[in-house]
Structure 1
Amino acid sequence: MSRILLVEEGQDAASVLLDELRRAGHEAEHIEDGAVALHRILTSPPALTLLDVELPRVSGLQILEKIRARSDHPIIMLTARAQESDRLRGFDLGADDYVCKPFSPREVVVRIHTVLRRCAQRRHVARPSMPITFGAVRGCAILDGHYLPLTRRESLLLRALSQEPGRVLTRSKLLEAAFPEALDVNERVVDTHIKNLRKKLATVSAAHDWIRSVYGVGFAWESQARQDA
């Protein structure tokens, strides 16, 4: 059983999802006010927060930004905003997942289990025991004891991804990491470098999908074999 906090305005909108969470064995709490929710997460964090974007006093995105400045607490955004730019904004701020309304309560429960599992894996893999290390020489990386010859861009991308295993980084975030001096580079250039990176990573273990794609959003580093594939 996990303690799940649902932050959404309106009891009627929340009741169906609360019932489904409790049927799934979770302890579910509902808060409607953004300021109250922010205080609760900071002082008594649940296992995971389901966070609506439109909230009184403090918006969901503001809460997400404030929480990410302090912790990696698991957060799934819930919103009626279906535009890609809104979803990318949430991921840029550090959301673990993003669910657009209307949604299936059962699907939300499945996503909760997936996010909790990934966060547990991320916390289990301590930084010193990461399977990838970077040498002092630019372009040198060692993955599970295997030397990887990398270009400068590939090295910067791999550093950014591996620093936050399991967390989805948007193309814009990766572009900032790998092309900090470029102002007119298209985000899709990230895909080309990721493709080349995957080929090199496959020489270490072809069966392990080291870089997970999230359609329309970006990529995440999987330092352990995926359990939800």
Structure 2
Amino acid sequence: MNRRHTMQEQTVTSLDRRRFLRLAATAGATLLAGGAIAGCSAESTEPRGGTPNAASDQSGDSTAATSPEANAPASPKTLVAVFSWSGHTLQVAERIHELVESDLFRIEPAEPYTSDYNAVLDVAQREQDDDYRPALAASVENWDDYGTVYLGFPVWWYHVPQIIKTFVTEHDLAGKNVVVFGTSGGSSIAGTVPDIEALCPNVTISGNITLDGDTVSSQLDRVDAWLGDLGLR
């Protein structure tokens, strides 16, 4: 009886061992399969999970760290601002605009001047005598973006036209590099510089040129040479 019982225990034990081994093998295979599935899943979903790979990290960091354009301030721009009653001074302005990377702005009165030459001379004289400042038709947008200003006008009665005084009063020239150009029937534009300096004591005028109004078309080559001498082209 005891011996039979012992043999039964051994048989049960043997069966339990074989069953255990089969279960262990099955569990191991399941774990291996699960691990393999998990690995494929990780590979297929990781790039879409929002975590950048090492290459993109390095590329992004390198661009942000080395690009000089990322935080560099914009370079000051250049403006050619001109008042031209007859169109002569406008020719000079357009030549400068062609040679120098710049924006072109027409200084014009809100109430246009008469087209009659003798009449406009009288108007100019009265404006100077009364120190009258004509209103501008428009103002320069984003004025602070400009570091250099070419300011052009005809010489009227040995001085700047009164509308230029309006322009200078409403557009602060302090801190800007100002270059003056204009046309005249005989007077030099250099004589108008004190007019501008009186309105803006901190102005820096680095050069000026005067062209004869009646022959301006044949003198535009002088503008090329003048800009070259100033180192502005």
Greater Rg, structure 1 or structure 2? 2
Q: Comparing both chains, which one has the higher relative contact order based on Cα–Cα distances under 8 Å and sequence gaps of 6 or more? A: 2
Task: Answer yes or no: same fold by TM over 0.5.
Answer: no
Q: Normalising to structure 2: TM-score of the pair?
A: 0.34
More strand by share: 1
More helix by share: 2
